[in-house]
Structure 1
Amino acid sequence: MTQKLYYKNYNEKPTKLSVITATYNADKFLPRLIKSLKEQVDKDFEWIISDGASSDKTLEILKNIGGINIKVISGEDFGIYDALNRGIKACNGEFYLVIGADDELYQNAIKDYKKAMEDGVDIITACIDTDNGKIEPNGGPRWLKAQAHYISGHAVGSIYRTSLHQKLGYYSRKFPIAADQLFVLTAANYGAKIKVVKSIVGKFSNDGVSSIDMLGTLCEFYRVQVVMGENKFLQTVLFILRLIKNFRKL
């Protein structure tokens, strides 16, 4: 696969926080995200965009952005987690934050995340807004909620120490919808220190793949829980109950 690297207003230097976005034909979503990044109180961050060879105006929009330290990589990929892996490898941040093209950050998000950074902390998680209301970290027992036991959400709601991937590997292409679940649970098993902050850092869109492909999401959630050692019988019962509950969405 070929990929092209665009540099626009980019300063290649170490930074505390990298914002990483995977895009594909996202021109209708980007203006709101760009606006939210430009309005950050703390502007000392880099934005890495890993684009899947968009054919709309995504790249045109990104190449004409000013006022943000931005790097754009474009080329075919194997899905969102492959794109995120590419972005992580290209970033210079001590921590990174994943945000979708249709998400947004509130003005104090970067400031609040950086304020919470300290030695020994590997994951920092905060509260997020969604179309269904506010989500806080520690949403229930791990056997029931998986990564939601630890964090509010993988995108928008948490930042991750970049060096974790050198120890634990990158997002698995075997889980095209729920690789984040696998990574967060693996990090927790490894002993990663997770810090919770109470501020609301942004809004997560409910229109992603995990919301649209309900059957695929439920299947991968089940697979991750079993792979991570949760009781298979209990997880099978929960899987069946979730299928029944979400029958109209399948």
Structure 2
Amino acid sequence: MPPSLSIITATYNAESDLPNLIASLVAQTDADFEWVVADGNSTDRTLELIDRAKSQLRTVKVDSRPDFGIYDAYNRAIKLASGDYYVVVGADDVLFPEAVANYKRACAETGADLVTACYYAGDQLIAGIRQPAWEWLWGMHAYVTGHAVGLAIRRDLHKEVGAYSRYFLLVADQFFILQAIRQGARVVFRDFIAGRYSPQGTSSCNKLGCIVELYRIKVKLGHSLLLSTLVMLCRVIKNWSRIQEQRR
């Protein structure tokens, strides 16, 4: 029996983005999946749009309440989900029609803890793992293409590794995935394009915060303090104009 799949989305006042995501879910060639939405108590038409989607999708689960940010929402959604694996898809992301079928096939064939695939980040195709695969430089991208859209995660992995940490508000996915790898999680890369990720998410809007959090994660995981500091400084310099623009 093939593994079951949950699509997990965190929303907050996302009525302008959701129609495209919902259309991409309705267009899946394999309709046997559940859509699990953790909403942050939206005040616009977000919940109305999700409710309408129930007539078009096989299973839709919604939990709406105030939360502590996107990873708190993911943790709620994971508890509500029933799939053997889950894929995080943002409210402003889309999946390509074969995504669910391809992920389910790859999970069934490999039994891997993490199945990672290609995806578009905006117009840029992310077509593989960063090379050389140096964790000290790339973080989780030394093992997976990305978190949202480009990764199917075995849901029970959270029982072994833990939930997404509240101590990292911007890149808790990095901490979770790197912890899972260190505890022996098996990763498989499959060469299909899962969808399109919007690079305008929370982490993208706070570049300096992401750089600092990733530095803290590397130090916490035991990477060289000196090397991690040098990498952080290089990233600050490289992204200086963007950081200055976000401060305005």
TM-score strictly above 0.5: yes
- CA distance in 1: counterparts of 2:171 and 2:220, whole angstroms: 12
Contact map agreement 1:15 1:46 (CA 8 A) in 2: no
CA contact (8 A) 1:137 1:149 kept: no
Aligned match for 2:20, one of 9, 22, 32: 32
Matched residue, 1:4: none
Contact 1:128 1:156 in 2 (8 A): yes
Match of 2:94 in 1: 104
Shift of 1:31: 0.2
Deviates more, 1:118-127 or 1:57-66: 118-127
TM-score by length of 1: 0.92
Counting only pairs closer than 5 Å after superposition, residues 70-109 of structure 1 correspond to structure 2 as 70-109=60-99
Tell me if structure 2 keeps the 8 A contact 1:18–1:45. Answer: yes
Matched, 1:67 2:60: no
RMSD (Å), alpha carbons: 1.3
Q: Which residue number corresponds to residue 11 of structure 1?
A: none
1:120 offset after TM fit, Å?
4.1
Q: Say whether the 8 Å CA contact 2:3–2:104 is kept in structure 1.
A: no
Which residue of 7, 24, 39 corresponds with 1:19?
7
**Which of 10, 29, 34 is the aligned partner of 1:41?**
29
Q: What whole-Å deviation, never above 9, does each CA across 1:73-98 have from its counterpart, x for those lacking one?
A: 10000000000000000000000110
Aligned to 2:118: 127
Q: Helix, strand or coil: the match of 2:79? A: helix
1:183 alignment partner AA: F
Aligned equivalent of 1:208, options 201, 208, 213:
201
Q: Does residue 160 of structure 2 align to residue 172 of structure 1?
A: no
Q: Take 1:94 and 1:131, find their aligned partners in 2: how far apart are those partners? A: 29
Q: 1:137 aligns with which of 108, 128, 135?
A: 128
Aligned-residue offset at 1:107: 0.4
Number of positions where the alignment pairs a residue of Structure 1 with one of Structure 2: 237
Runs of 4+ in 1 over 6 A off after TM superposition: none
C-alpha distance after superposition, 1:170-227 (max 9, x if no partner): 0000000010000000010010111110001100101001111011111111111111
Whether the aligned pair in 2 keeps the contact of 1:137 and 1:150 (CA below 8 Å) is: no
Structure 2 length normalisation: TM-score?
A: 0.93
Measure the CA separation in 1 of the matches of 2:120 and 2:240: 26
Distance in 1, matches of 2:208 and 2:67, equals 23
In the TM superposition, what is the alpha-carbon distance from 1:131 to its structure 2 partner?
Answer: 2.1
Aligned partners of 2:236 and 2:3: how far apart in 1? 44
Contact 1:136 1:151 in 2 (8 A): no
- Give unmatched runs, 5+ long, in structure 2: 244-248
* CA distance in structure 2 between the partners assigned to 1:27 and 1:196 by the alignment: 33
